[in-house]
Amino acid sequence: MKEIRPSRDEARRTRTARDKETRQRHKAASAKKTVTFRDLPSLVRLVVTGQEVDVDEAVHCLHHEVYYGGIAKADFAGTIFALALADLTRLPMGILDQKKELLPGRYLPDSIDALRDHAERMISASRNQDLIETVAEGWPGHGSGESRLAGHLANLWQIHSDHPPLYRALVMGRHRPVIQALRDRRYAGMSAAAAGLIQESDTLARIRRALECQTLLWCAHDVQMILARNARAAAFPLGDMLSSDKTIVEPATVLAEARPMRETLMSVLDAYRAHQESGMDDRAVNTLMEEDGIVRRLRLQVQRQAEQRGIDPERAADRVAVLMDRVASRVQGSNDAFLQALATPARAYSSPKSFHAAWFSGLSPLASSGVAVIRYLQAETQVAALIDELLPLANVRRAVRDRLALPAFDERDMPRGWKARSRDLLHAWRSAVLGDKDLHSRSVPSDGRDPKAGKQPLEAAIAFLNRAGDRRIGDDHGDQHCERRTFYLLDVIPEHRLACG
Question: What domain count does the chain have?
Answer: 2
Which residues are paired to 243 by β-bridges? 36
**Within-domain flag for 421:** yes
Residues 340 and 371 in one domain: no
Residues 82 and 213 in one domain: yes
**Within-domain flag for 209:** yes
Residues 343 and 471 in one domain: no
Tens digits of residue pLDDT in 109-127: 999 999 999 999 999 999 9
Residues 234 and 119 in one domain: yes
Q: What is the DSSP string of 78-129?
A: HHHT-TT---GGGS-HHHHT-TTPPPPGGG---SHHHHHHHHHHHH-TT--H
Residues 202 and 287 in one domain: no
**Within-domain flag for 22:** no
Name the pLDDT band for 333 (thresholds 50, 70, 90): low
- Per DSSP, the three-state class of 37 is strand
Residues 345 and 363 in one domain: no
**With helix as H, strand as E and coil as C, how does 186-244 read?**
CCCCCCHHHHHHCCCHHHHHHHHHHHHHHHHHHHHHHHHHHHHHHHHHHHCCCHHHEEE
Tens digits of residue pLDDT in 36-60: 777 677 777 777 776 666 777 777 8
Residues 302 and 370 in one domain: no
Cα–Cα dist 253/261, whole Å: 14
Residues 309 and 411 in one domain: no
Contacts of 247 (CB under 8 A, 6+ apart): 30, 234, 235, 437
pLDDT over 50 at 427, yes or no:
yes
pLDDT over 80 at 27, yes or no:
no
Of residues 123 and 322, more confidence is placed in 123
Cα–Cα dist 225/220, whole Å: 9
pLDDT over 70 at 281, yes or no:
no
Residues 295 and 441 in one domain: no
- Listed residues 325, 352, 379: the one ending a domain: 352
Cα–Cα dist 460/99, whole Å: 24
Residues 185 and 298 in one domain: no
pLDDT over 60 at 384, yes or no:
yes
Residues 340 and 381 in one domain: no
Is-contact 475 405, C-beta < 8 A? Answer: no
**175 exposed, middle or buried (CB, 10 Å; 0-12, 13-18, 19+)?**
buried
279 alpha-carbon distance from chain centroid? 53
Contacts of 79 (CB under 8 A, 6+ apart): 71, 85, 91, 95
**Within-domain flag for 288:** yes
**Within-domain flag for 3:** no
Which residues are paired to 148 by β-bridges? none
**Within-domain flag for 65:** no
**Within-domain flag for 29:** no
pLDDT over 70 at 279, yes or no:
no
Is-contact 423 455, C-beta < 8 A? Answer: yes
Identify the domain containing residue 339 by its residue range: 251-352
pLDDT over 60 at 369, yes or no:
yes
Instruction: Enumerate the H helices of 246-392 as residue ranges.
Output: 251-278, 283-291, 293-308, 317-332, 337-342, 355-359, 365-388
pLDDT over 80 at 440, yes or no:
no
Residues 231 and 256 in one domain: no
Q: Which residue, 364, 321, 342, is CA-closest to 227?
A: 364
Tens digits of residue pLDDT in 1-23: 455 666 666 766 766 666 666 55
**Within-domain flag for 371:** yes
- Listed residues 334, 352, 370: the one ending a domain: 352
- Listed residues 321, 352, 383: the one ending a domain: 352
Of residues 69 and 481, more confidence is placed in 69
Which residues are paired to 410 by β-bridges? none
| Alpha-carbon dihedral sign for residues 311, 317, 318, 321 | positive
Average pLDDT for 485-490? 91
